Amino acid sequence: MDSADRDMFRAAIHGDREAFEMIIRTMSRPLFAIAFGILQNREEAEDVVQDAFVKAWKSRWRVREPEKLQGWISTIARHRAYDILRRRRTVPLDEQLQEFAAAGNGSESPDDERHRQVRSALATLPELYRSAVALRYLQNMDYATIEQTLGLSNGALRGILGRALASMRKRLKPALAAMI
Amino acid sequence: MPTIHDQIDEVLAAAVHNELTDDERRALHVHLVECAECRALHKEEQLMNKALGEIFTDEKPDFGFEKRMLYAFRRKAPPRASVAVFLVNLMRSRVTQLAAAAILLLALFEMGRFLTGEEMSIPFFRESRLASPPMAMNGQAAATDLVTSGGASFFPDKQGDAFVEAGRKSDTERDHNQAQEAVRSKSELGSAASVQAYRAKEGSPATTDDKRGTPLTSGQPAALLARASSNVPVTSASAATNAEEIGPSPSASAQRGPANRKLIRNARVDLEVRNFEEAVQQIGGFASEARGYIATSSSDKQENGKLRGEVVVKVLPENLDDFLEKLRGVGDLKNQIIGTDDVTKQYLDTDARLKNAQAMEQRLLEVLKRKSDDINDLLAVEKELGRVREQIEQMQGELKFMDTQAQFATVTIALAEKDMDVPAGFLLKERAQLALYAQDVEKSYNQIKALASPKIQITNATLDRDNAGRVSARISMLIAPEESDAVIAKVKALGRVDKFQLQTERVARGGQGMSEDAKTERDKVQLNVTIAREEQEAPLQQTTLRVRASSVSERAKELRNLAEKQNGRVRASSFARDPNGREFANVSLRVPMKNYGSLMQSLGALGKLENVSVHREERPDAQIDEANAPADISIQVYSQGKIVPDNTGVIATLRRTLAQGAAALMWSVQLIGVALAFLLPWLLPIALIIWGARLISRARASKRAR
């Protein structure tokens, strides 16, 4: 993180709205990716991003070190997304099954079928993994930036993405074989 | 060192994401060439990567996404007031947090002080702040009061005319006096309004005696007078214009100076004159010049033939200053006090009450005239009427008294002739104090009382016997000078003299200082005698000793016999036996000094003497009759008893240990109680602090966990 960024974060923490809006400009897409990775739903993800910024602004004074602001905001977004996800899971099983059935039947192309499978495999991953995958594929971020955005330590992402992809690979083995 | 094969998942992911270093990539390629399993995985990983890329391509946020987020943020978190921002920033700063911590500590400290009952230090500050505003308010209220009373409650013209009428009838001379008073009060208070009032009085003899007119309170007469004076030329003006004129006018509101006060003046003068009679005549002359008179005169002849006295003179108040001036010519002025008593309020109050009482009287008279048939009613009315009339008379008397008091100023002149202070003679006063110890107090007491004769007068004699049987006596007598030495010697012989004190004082008569030709006389001698029993006399010599004997009680009996042989008395004795069988007898004896030696010798027969100690009070100055002075001997006779005491052995030790253990336990319980009592008041703040600290640390921990 360069010093200009750090100054911007510090100013934002100290209540400078312009600095904070700058942060919103730069961080809203990564945050969207994080939320989308977890929720797989654009509208909900957008809501999460909005809420996360508002919440971060209101309680910005809790952050002591400017370096941690980014990680902290993305943590807020992740938690918010979990909350929504958890609430969604309490929807009765019947509805989910119906949805699933609706999604599964009918005439869909092999591509759609594969995408659906990939998505459901993605949904089985832990939330942090999903966020990391989304940041990588949605934002095309390099590992270092992702680590910084998620507030992870250096080199941790390699393991996370490795495990995430491996897990999906195993789950999707037949579908992948069909792709060849 | 883990091989690539072990970490294949990680490495493959990094490879498809282009995050491998050159070395790693090379190593991976080498490995893939030789490991078919990993090759298959690599293939799958590439497919996986592609599939994921596909599913996310469509999901990228649209072009206006950031803007939307920004607007949403602005809508949901509008800028707050700058004060709030400032406060938030303030809370963030370390300095503020330190200050808050300090304040918290201070609050705890103050609370502790409060709980322990020490005084807080605010009251002074609070009082000083409260002290001034009410005063200012009072002044203001008084001023407005005056304005309103001057403006609103002013009576209509008709009434005013009535006053003017009443004024015409009133005594002109008194008005003159009042005018004079007004001048004086002007000089005292410097009020412009009183000048005005004074001029009005001078200008028209028809000034009102307004205080008789209405029952008004003390603040009003001034305003009333001002109104009257300004109103004299314009009697036809309406009440409303009057109110306008008077209300806001500064003279009415600013003046608190009375123009029509009842002032009682008096003075006191101390003079030193050559001749008392001449001075009194002179004063009489001055008094009549000042249209006054000598009220009382008294004189008193001193022992040296000089006169001292007091003359009370009444003069007209306006002449008082002149009169005092003239008095200085009569003699040397030693002291002068001039005072003024303002009885206006009292006068007006009494006057108002008088009016009420008179109105009451009228009403009662009307009731009587109606001729009720009921005798009881009539009687009640009569009774009430009598009471009211009595009140009226009393109040009229008071008013009259105050009038006369105010009419004349009282001057009290104390006169003293010169050379008062040379003494005419001297008196030699002798007082003697004598303290005696007597064998039989009552007998000595009676003997002294028997000395009474015309030249020896007993002024006071008391005999005390307290509940322990101790007797003491006090006698005071006056003895003619020529008899005194003989009588004192006689009294001294009645017992042993403890203390004798003779005090002689020369008292000057009729003044102080030296006088060459003054005679000296010897006055009666006052003798105070106190008699106490011999027992109470402190011994000249005290001896303590111990005697070990096998049979204690027998030895004690022998001891008593020995003492009696030597003319001694047993003052106290006691006998004790302790649990180990030891016996103690304590005997305290008193013998005359002359028999002390022989008694001590005979004591040897009782047994072995131990621990002999002798204490002698040397009184080198005192002339005492040493042979008969008392000597005290305290003797303890004791036996050995059993050697081994009961309180040894296992049981006793156990019991002692248990008792000590219990005591220690009780002591620590007590200490715990004290500690609790001390800590309880602190528990609440400490709990608060711990709660806050835990909140903070939890917040930090959760942040770290994220």
- Chain A residue with Cα closest to B81: A15
Between B192 and B59, where is the model more confident? B59
Rounded to an integer, the average pLDDT of B306-311 is: 84
Sheet-wide strand order for B307-315: B293-301, B307-315, B409-417, B263-273, B332-342
Best mean pLDDT range from A93-97, A121-125, A131-135: A131-135
Strand partners, B330: none
Q: Is the pLDDT reported for residue B630 higher than 60? A: yes
Q: Give the residue with greater pLDDT, B485 vs B173.
A: B485
Distance CA B576, CA B479 (A): 54
Mean pLDDT, residues A74-80: 91
3-state SS string for A101-170 = HHHHCCCCCHHHHHHHHHHHHHHCCCHHHHHHHHHHHHHCCCHHHHHHHHCCCCCHHHHHHHHHHHHHHH
| Strand order across the B425-438 sheet | B456-465, B471-479, B519-533, B425-438, B496-509
Across the range B80-92, mean pLDDT stands at 69
Cα B578 from chain centre: 57
Contacts of B558 (CB under 8 A, 6+ apart): B605, B606
Structure tokens at B266: 């008096």
Q: Does residue B406 surpass a pLDDT of 60?
A: yes
Does A133 sit within 8 Å of B49, measured CB to CB? Answer: no
Determine which of B156-160, B411-415, B656-660 has the lowest per-residue pLDDT on average: B156-160
- Which of A169, A179, A180 has the most B C-beta neighbours within 10 Å, making it the best mutation to test the interface with B? A169
pLDDT of B393: 92
| Helix or strand (DSSP H, E) at B295 | strand B293-301
3-state SS assignment for residue B690:
helix
Q: Which one-letter DSSP state was computed for residue B317?
A: G
Q: Which residue has the higher pLDDT, B581 or B616?
A: B616
Facing residue for A28 by CB, picked from B44, B60, B69: B69
C-beta atoms of A137 and B44 within 8 A = no
The answer for residues whose C-beta is within 8 angstroms of residue B479's C-beta and 6 or more apart is B455, B456, B457, B487, B488, B524, B525, B526, B527
Nearest to B257 by CA among B197, B334, B339: B197
Counted residue by residue, chain B has a size of: 706
d(CA B182, CA B259): 5
Residue from A13, A69, A176 whose CB has the most chain B CBs within 10 Å, to mutate: A176
Q: Is the pLDDT of residue B136 over 50?
A: no
Categorize the per-residue pLDDT at B12 as very low, low, confident or very high, splitting at 50, 70 and 90.
confident
Strand partners for B589: B570, B633
Which of B8, B24, B47 to substitute to test the interface with A, most A CBs within 10 Å? Answer: B47
What is the mean predicted confidence (pLDDT) over A19-37? 89
- Which pLDDT score is estimated for B672? 93
Helix or strand or coil: residue B301? strand
**B635: exposed, middle or buried (C-beta count within 10 Å: 0-12, 13-18, 19+)?**
buried
Question: Could you give phi then psi for residue B299, rounded to 5 degrees?
Answer: -140, 165
Residue-by-residue DSSP string for B27-73? HHHHHHHH-HHHHHHHHHHHHHHHHHHHHHHTTS--TTHHHHHHHHH
Is residue B449 pLDDT above 80, yes or no?
yes
pLDDT-based confidence at residue B404 (cuts at 50, 70, 90): confident
* Shortest CA gap B111–chain A (Å): 31
Least confident of B74-78, B200-204, B261-265, B639-643: B200-204
Contacts of B50 in chain A (CB under 8 A): 179
B68–chain A nearest CA distance, Å: 9
**Confidence at B195, pLDDT banded by 50, 70, 90:** very low
From chain B, the residues in CB contact with A111 under 8 A are 54
Cβ neighbours around A124 below 10 Å, total: 11
Three-class SS of residue B472? strand
- pLDDT tens digits along B650-685: 888 888 899 999 999 999 999 999 998 888 888 888
Residue reference for tokens 């009290």: B412
Q: Of A136, A54, A24, A15, which is closest to residue B49 (Cα–Cα)? A: A136
Candidate from B9, B55, B73 with C-beta closest to A162: B9
The Cα A149–Cα B607 span in angstroms is 111
Mind giving me the DSSP string for B448-466?
Answer: HHHT-BTTEEEEEEEEEE-
- The residues spanned by each domain of chain B are 8-57, 425-536, 541-638, 651-706
Binary contact (B10, A158; C-beta < 8 A): yes
Nearest CA in chain A to B18: A142
Same fold, B425-536 and B541-638: yes
- Arithmetic mean of pLDDT, B14-30: 87
Contact (CB<8Å) B55/A49: no
Between helix A143-150 and helix A69-89 the angle, nearest 10°, is: 80
pLDDT given at position B689: 93
Place of tokens 């108040």: B317
Distance, CA of B310 to CA of B315 (rounded, Å): 16
Q: Which residues of A touch B77 (CB under 8 A)?
A: 53-54, 57-58
Nearest to B61 among A29, A53, A168 (CB): A29
pLDDT value for B119: 52
SS3 content of chain A, % helix, strand, coil (to 5): 80, 0, 20
CA distance B104 to chain A (A): 22
Q: Which helix (H) or strand (E) holds B406?
A: helix B375-407
With cut-offs at 50, 70 and 90, classify the pLDDT of residue B690. Answer: very high
Burial B405-441 (b: 16+ CB within 10 A, else e): bbebbbbbbebbbeeeebbbbbeeebebebbbbbeeb
Closest-CA distance, B51 to chain A, in angstroms, reads 7
Q: Is the pLDDT of residue B313 over 80?
A: yes
C-beta of residue B196 within 8 angstroms of C-beta of residue B232: no
Write the DSSP assignment of B658-680 as a string of letters.
HHHHHHHHHHHHHHHHHHHHHHH
pLDDT at B663: 94
The average confidence (pLDDT) of chain B is 75
Q: How far is A32 from chain B (nearest CA, A)?
A: 8
Residue B346 burial (C-beta neighbours within 10 Å; 0-12, 13-18, 19+): middle
d(CA A19, CA A15): 8
**CB-CB neighbors (< 8 A) of A72 in chain B:** 703, 706
Mutate to test the interface with B, among A20, A31, A138 (most CBs of B within 10 A): A138
ipTM: 0.83
Does B17 sit within 8 Å of A143, measured CB to CB? yes
Q: Cα B98–B99–B102 angle (5° rounding)?
A: 90
Asked if B60 is an interface residue toward chain A (Cβ–Cβ < 8 A), one would say yes
As beta bridge partners, residue B269 has B336, B413
- CB contact (8 A) between residue A162 and residue B12: yes
Optimal mutation site among B63, B66, B91, B96, interface A, most CBs of chain A within 10 A: B66
Q: What is the pLDDT of residues B245-277, one digit of tens each?
A: 444 444 433 344 445 677 888 888 888 888 888
Mind telling me how many Å the CA of B683 is from chain A's nearest CA?
29
Handedness of CA B381, B386, B389, B391 (dihedral sign): negative
Indicate the CATH number of B425-536 among 1.20.120, 3.30.70, 2.40.10, 2.60.40: 3.30.70
Residue of A28, A58, A115 lying closest to B65 (CB–CB):
A28
* pLDDT over 80 at B441, yes or no: yes
Return the structure tokens found at B400: 């009259």
Which pLDDT score, from 0 to 100, does residue B118 have?
59
Q: Which residue of B has its CA nearest to A174?
A: B44
Least confident of A93-107, B68-82, B285-299, B392-406: A93-107
Min Cα separation A102/chain B (Å): 19
Q: Which CATH class name applies to B541-638?
A: alpha beta
Q: Which residues of B touch A151 (CB under 8 A)?
A: 706
**In the numeric block, which tokens belong to residue B542?**
């005290």
Determine the pLDDT at residue B516: 63
* Residue B559, amino acid: L
Average pLDDT over residues A40-60: 89
Q: Which residues of B touch A42 (CB under 8 A)?
A: 59, 61
- Distance (Å, rounded) from C-alpha B626 to C-alpha B86? 99
| Cβ-Cβ contacts under 8 Å, B68 against chain A | 46
